[in-house]
Amino acid sequence: MGETKKQDSEPSTGKATSVVDYIVQRLADEGITDCFGVPGDYAFPVCDAVERNPNIRWVGCSNELNASYAADGYARVRGAAMLSTTYAVGELSAINGVMGAKAERSLVYHVVGMPSYQNQRVHKKMHHTFGDGVFGNFVNISAQAACVHAVIDPDNCMIEMERVISEARRNNQPAYIVVPGDYALAPFTPTEVRPVTLKSNQASLEKAVAAIAERVRDANSIVAFPAFTLTRLRLQKEARQAIEALGCPFATTTMEKCIIDESHPQFAGLYAGALSAEKTRQIVEDAELVLDLGGISLNDETTAGFSGRLDSARFVSVGLNDVRIGEQVFGNVRLADVLAALTTFKSPALPYRRTPEQA
pLDDT tens digits for range 252-295: 999 999 999 999 999 999 999 999 999 999 999 999 999 999 99
First to last CA, the chain: 35
| pLDDT digits 0-9 by tens, 164-192 | 999 999 999 999 999 999 999 999 888 87
Which residues have a Cβ under 8 Å from the Cβ of 356 and sit 6 or more positions away? none
Judged against a pLDDT cut of 60, whether residue 6 lies above it is answered with no
Query: Cα separations (Å) of 328 from 87, 325, 345?
Result: 43, 5, 21
The DSSP annotation for 88-141 comes to: THHHHHHHHHHHHHHHTT--EEEEEEE--HHHHHTT---TTS-SSS---HHHHH
**What gap in Å lies between CA 257 and CA 254, rounded to an integer?**
5
| pLDDT digits 0-9 by tens, 21-63 | 999 999 999 999 999 999 999 999 999 999 999 999 999 999 9
Q: What is the pTM of this model?
A: 0.87
| The pLDDT of residue 97 | 98
| pLDDT digits 0-9 by tens, 103-123 | 999 999 999 999 999 888 888
- Using an 8 Å Cβ cutoff, are 49 and 20 in contact? yes
**What gap in Å lies between CA 48 and CA 32, rounded to an integer?**
17
Burial 196-212 (b: 16+ CB within 10 A, else e): eeeebeeebbeebbebb
Which residues have a Cβ under 8 Å from the Cβ of 210 and sit 6 or more positions away? none
**What gap in Å lies between CA 1 and CA 24, rounded to an integer?**
16
- Alpha-helical (H) ranges within the chain are 19-28, 44-52, 64-78, 89-103, 117-121, 137-142, 157-171, 181-185, 202-218, 229-232, 236-246, 278-285, 335-342
Phi, psi for 267 (deg, rounded to 5): -75, 125
| The pLDDT of residue 5 | 38
Judged against a pLDDT cut of 90, whether residue 243 lies above it is answered with yes
